[in-house]
Amino acid sequence: MLTRRDFVKWCAAVGAWVYVGGLAGCAQRLYDPEGPPGASAFTPLDPATIAKFGTPMLVPPAMPRAEGPDGIDYYEISMRQFEQQILPDGLPKTTVWGYGPVAAASADALMIHNAPSLTIEATHGVPTRVKWINDLCDENGAHLPHLLPVDPTLHWANPQGKEAGRDTRPVFTETPGPYTGPVPIVTHVHGAVGVGDESDGYPEAWYLCDGPVVGYARNGTWYDFFAAKAKNELGVEWGDGFAIFQYPNDNRACTLWYHDHTLGMTRLNVYAGPAGFYLVRGGDAGDSAVTDSRTGSPAILPGPAPAEGDAPDTRYCEIPIAIQDRAFNEDGSLFYPSDRAYFDGIVGPFIPEGDGISPIWNPEFFGNTIMVNGATWPYLEVERRRYRLRFLNGCQSRFLILDFGAIDGARVWMIGSEGGFLREPVNISSATGAGRLVLGLAERADMIVDFTDVPEGEYVLGNVGPDEPYGGGEPGDDFEPSDPETTGVIMQFRVVAATGTDDTTPPEYLVLPALEVLPTESVTRKLALIEVMGMGRGEAGEEIEGPAEAVLGIVNDDGEPEPLEWADEVTENPAVGATELWEIYNTTADAHPMHVHETVFELVNRQPLAMEEDELAEPLTPVGEPTGPLPHEAGFKDTVIAYPGQVTRIRARFGRAGQFVWHCHIVEHEDNEMMRPFRIGPEQAGQPAPKPMADRETESMDD
């Protein structure tokens, strides 16, 4: 495997940057937690001073349903601003955003907003309908500003551009400060299969809170088109401050999650808090289809999971666990960089001058604190029995390598990924070595952790992924693991005596439902991951080269990567029902977790790309033997890690016509051009046309 360290060594060997077809293939990174010289003032709460393992981990309750049509699970859910005790008791609360119910069929329903939010429980084949409400207004109805610095020089939602300029990259005559206007949102259920495009959370279908709007566009470019489609196909009416989406739940039983997906703002909106689990149950590939190989009878998986109406003292043995990285200021507020200097010391020139470098956007961000289910470094009390833990990497840019090695006697198995159950259970301790599991951004792992033979006591779940961009390889050899005192720690398990017998099926005896065999592909597409560089200056006037944007593109007939921006015409246009092979050529120095909306796919293989004189050769050429998916990747997925210097091949079937997106799930990349629309089937009558990019050419920097 070509690791990121190998790639950077090649850069050093030629004494500068390696370029592929004029595009950067290597990138320098500076990750001092205090920021480099010239960075904005960072008055952080030192993570080393935050007490660990004093807060019990929240087990997210089930989202209460509202009264709705027969045959449909109906919810009314809003996004609000509130304070939450994320840091340990005794430290300040944190102002965050989160989803929560605003209507419920039961008088005893749990009506709370939280970050992460309550879990939506869905049933295979039974539609779920959600009224998603933007409630980011104050008690007087006035729009609330963002909690974090919004860079208005990106190609973003841009409400201040009004109708003509929304969803564009604005043109400036001088470098602007952060945007302070009303906040747009649009919710995406990550991994939903067969969903209509009107309900997928398209990045240009955002909407503001239902408050007075003066000088701003109220809705995104696609909002009205999708509102009309929802009325025609679903019989629902959208209105100011909300949209009504419907999910057919065509997925196999699996772990999904929901989060904001606004154009150019996803990194900020999600960092502020709004996200939650969405679990699909039942169907031919659900829990009841799992059998015990010893008897052939139905297996018993660990449970229960949270459900509506549970007693407060219910002990759960199926638990979703969202891992996120954050940083905090001393007053408890969320920290997120307010200028580009924090990343690499560039203090200018910025858009509209220089090489198109934005003044606030940071190419990646690594929080210095780990948050699990909405609390920093919590503990979970577990009995000496088996548990089903559904892990989500909800970080900004951080790849996790979960390390169970310090839990003496634990037996760890993975039974499912994003698309449901795997082909067969995978013993993580023996299959991946040392009880470790790589989890890319937005990837999920459905795991059984057996604490039966773990002595009573306290044990730490670790993380040996890097505190910088990940490119594959082994911790300690190819990269430095996370800080063992802070980001190298996820949470604590407190193992206590079992209170009863455990009649669940040992994971080695589980027979998982068969996986569907996808048809042979009719089309192969060659796609490219590209990093575009720009030149800036540091505080002392020195030249500093750094990423201006991360982009997607295609590999042309000559084998050269061609970058494409969000506003360029659609190049990926599968036919309805078609199965395609997408070959993703990664020409950058980093691994990228690639997500395709509307469908799930199978990872076919990965293959190195040819090198020539310490550069990626052109034309881009796969060499050597392809390697198949790792055991824990041998199932259907919606997010896959594309490693540097490799081509990653996925096979997918595209079942429903409409306009969707594919993108990198490093959210800082996604927000600055590493996302592209794709269309299944023909254009729809009356659909909005792509907006042309503004003229971004500027004069060269003075010597």
Token pair 């609360």 is at which residue?
A: 93
Which alpha helices (H) appear in 92-198, and where do they start and end?
162-165
CA distance 17 to 505: 54
CA distance 101 to 270: 18
What pLDDT does 33 receive? Answer: 42
DSSP of 637-655 = ESEEEE-TTEEEEEEEE--
DSSP of 227-262 = HHHHHHHH----BTTEEEEEE---SPSEEEEEEE--
CA distance 42 to 30: 15
* HSE, side-chain direction, 13 A CA sphere, residue 312: 2
Model confidence at 9, pLDDT cuts 50, 70, 90, reads very low
Asked whether the predicted pLDDT for residue 24 surpasses 70, the reply is no
CA distance 28 to 34: 17
Task: Report pLDDT digits (tens) over 290-304.
Answer: 999 999 999 999 999
Q: What are phi and psi of 113, to 5 degrees?
A: -100, 140
Residues 6+ apart with CB under 8 A from 119: 60, 61, 62, 63, 276, 277, 278, 279, 306, 320
What tokens appear for 509 in the block?
């005896």
Asked whether the predicted pLDDT for residue 8 surpasses 80, the reply is no
Mean pLDDT (the chain) is 92
8-state DSSP, 47: G
Asked whether the predicted pLDDT for residue 188 surpasses 80, the reply is yes
Asked whether the predicted pLDDT for residue 14 surpasses 50, the reply is no
Let me know: does 268 contact 334? Beta carbons within 8 Å: no
Percent of the chain exceeding pLDDT 70 equals 92
What pLDDT does 192 receive? Answer: 98
Report which of 195, 188, 190 is spatially closest to residue 229, judged by C-alpha positions. 195
What pLDDT does 652 receive? Answer: 98
Q: What are phi and psi of 7, to 5 degrees?
A: -65, -45
Let me know: does 134 contact 77? Beta carbons within 8 Å: no
Task: Report pLDDT digits (tens) over 629-665.
Answer: 999 999 999 999 999 999 999 999 999 999 999 999 9
Token pair 């099926």 is at which residue?
A: 505
Calculate the alpha carbon distances from 165 to 155, 218, 220, 570 in Å: 11, 12, 10, 21
Task: Report pLDDT digits (tens) over 212-247.
Answer: 888 999 999 999 999 999 999 999 999 999 999 999
Report which of 143, 227, 132 is spatially closest to residue 181, judged by C-alpha positions. 143
CA distance 354 to 364: 21
CA distance 575 to 425: 34
CA distance 260 to 18: 35
Query: Is residue 277 classed exposed, middle or buried when 0-12, 13-18 and 19+ CB atoms within 10 A define those classes?
Result: buried
What tokens appear for 36 in the block?
């480099």
Asked whether the predicted pLDDT for residue 483 surpasses 70, the reply is yes
Cα dihedral 195, 201, 205, 209, rounded to 10, equals 130
Q: Is cis: bond before 60, omega within 30 of 0?
A: no
Let me know: does 407 contact 469? Beta carbons within 8 Å: no
Model confidence at 613, pLDDT cuts 50, 70, 90, reads confident
Residue type, 485: E
- pTM (two decimals): 0.93
What tokens appear for 158 in the block?
């841009």
Asked whether the predicted pLDDT for residue 262 surpasses 80, the reply is yes
What pLDDT does 614 receive? Answer: 79
Query: Is residue 101 classed exposed, middle or buried when 0-12, 13-18 and 19+ CB atoms within 10 A define those classes?
Result: buried
CA distance 60 to 322: 10
CA distance 532 to 105: 51
Q: Strand pairing of 543-555 and 386-393?
A: unpaired
Asked whether the predicted pLDDT for residue 11 surpasses 80, the reply is no
- Three-class secondary structure of residue 318 per DSSP: strand
What tokens appear for 190 in the block?
């990550």
CA distance 292 to 512: 9
Mean pLDDT of 170-195: 97
Which alpha helices (H) appear in 348-495, and where do they start and end?
428-431
